Each structure stands twice: as C-alpha cells, then as structure tokens.
C-alpha cells in the first residue's frame, strides 16, 4: 500500500521496518514475545515468566507501560529538526542507574499501562503532528510490546524512522 510521507520527512528515506515482509515482522514479534516466558530480554536474565504475572528486576509485565509522549525539542539537533523528535517515555527500566535523569519514570514507575492499540495510535499521532521520528526512550524491557504496537502502527501508515534511545 503506498504510504503518505509526513511533510518534513526526506522523500527518499525508507525505514528498515517498511522493507520487511509482514510475515517476517510477525515472526520477530513471536520470537520476542516468547522471550518473556523466561525473560532474558536484557543481561539481567531474570528468567521469570512475565506472561504469567511474574516480575523481574524491571517490574514490568507483558503490556506496554508508558509515562508520557510528545514532540521533544531537547534531543540532538538531527533528531529534532523543525517538528521535534516524537518521544515516547517507557515506564520502569532494566538498568537502575542512581543518577538517572528520568528517575521518577525509571525508578518510581511513573506512568500507566497502555493497550497495544493505544501505543500504536501514539506512534501515528506523533507522525501526524510532524515529528521526524519515533523516539523510544528506555525501550529495552518493553521491546516485545513495542513490536506488537509497531505492527499496528505500520498498518496505520507509520513511515518515519525509529530511534532506539536506550541507556545501555
């Protein structure tokens, strides 16, 4: 399906996720989802089953948990451009750095569970607001959920680059 690029995107840039066949994306989602059953998403290797309500170091289950989102103008200039970087701040973290600048989000769990549909609509909304990219802030412990939402967002016309903005 032809995709309409947002006003500020470079016309010749195609994000890697749009080059993957949908079957391949589904395979990767399934593989990522399976990791949650004995979680080794990050080097903490907690080995707990997040799909059965168990929690590891990051205190996060198998649903997206989001603190805030919006165009961000404080990131590096190439990410911000004119329309801003479309940040999505994910709640909790697998790192636990005491000096974290997002302490209330990463340590204190500020945020709320969101449906996959909601996370997907946040992505497409950021695009329609003119953001140049989707900037996933602290995504590592939520990658399987992000992939599921991304799949829906692609169906909804998402076509801007993704920034994997991790502390590690």
Residues of the shown chain interacting with ligand SF4 in the complex, contacts defined by CB under 6 A: 39-42, 44-46, 48, 56-58, 94, 141
Q: Considering the complex, what minimum distance in angstroms separates the CB of residue 78 from ligand SF4?
A: 29
* Neighbouring residues of 31: CB distance < 8 A, sequence distance ≥ 6: none
Where would I find the H helices in 36-142? 77-80, 103-106, 116-128
Whole-angstrom distance, CA of residue 95 vs CA of residue 92: 9
Shortest Å distance, C-beta 164 to ligand SF4: 15
- Least separation in angstroms between residue 150's CB and ligand SF4 is 18
> Closer CB to ligand SF4, residue 17 or residue 57?
57
- CB-nearer residue toward ligand SF4: 21 or 43: 43
Among 57, 85, 61, residue whose Cα is nearest residue 165: 85
**Nearest residue to 82 (alpha-carbon basis) of 35, 129, 37, 123:** 129
The residue number with the shortest CB distance to ligand SF4 is 56
Q: Indicate the residue among 39 and 163 with the shorter CB distance to ligand SF4.
A: 39
- Minimum Å gap between C-beta 49 and ligand SF4 is 10
User: In 3D, which of 163, 160, 112, 156 has the Cα closest to residue 138?
Assistant: 163
In the complex with ligand SF4, which residue's Cβ is closer, 60 or 127?
60
- Best CA proximity match to 33, nearest among 55, 49, 22: 49
């Amino acid at each position: 399906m032809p995709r309409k690029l947002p006003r500020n995107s470079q016309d010749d840039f195609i994000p890697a996720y749009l080059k993957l066949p949908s079957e391949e994306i589904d395979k990767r989602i399934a593989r990522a989802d399976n990791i949650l059953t004995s979680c080794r998403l990050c080097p903490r290797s907690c080995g707990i089953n997040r799909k059965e309500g168990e929690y590891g170091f990051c205190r996060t289950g198998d649903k997206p948990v989001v603190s805030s989102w919006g165009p961000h103008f404080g990131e590096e200039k190439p990410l911000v451009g004119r329309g801003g970087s479309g940040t999505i701040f994910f709640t909790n973290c697998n790192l636990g750095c005491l000096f974290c600048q997002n302490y209330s989000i990463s340590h204190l769990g500020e945020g709320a569970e969101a449906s996959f549909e909601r996370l997907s609509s946040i992505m497409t909304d950021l695009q329609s607001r003119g953001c140049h990219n989707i900037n996933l802030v602290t995504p590592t412990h939520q990658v399987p959920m992000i992939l599921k939402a991304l799949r829906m967002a692609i169906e909804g016309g998402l076509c801007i680059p993704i920034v994997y903005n991790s502390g590690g």
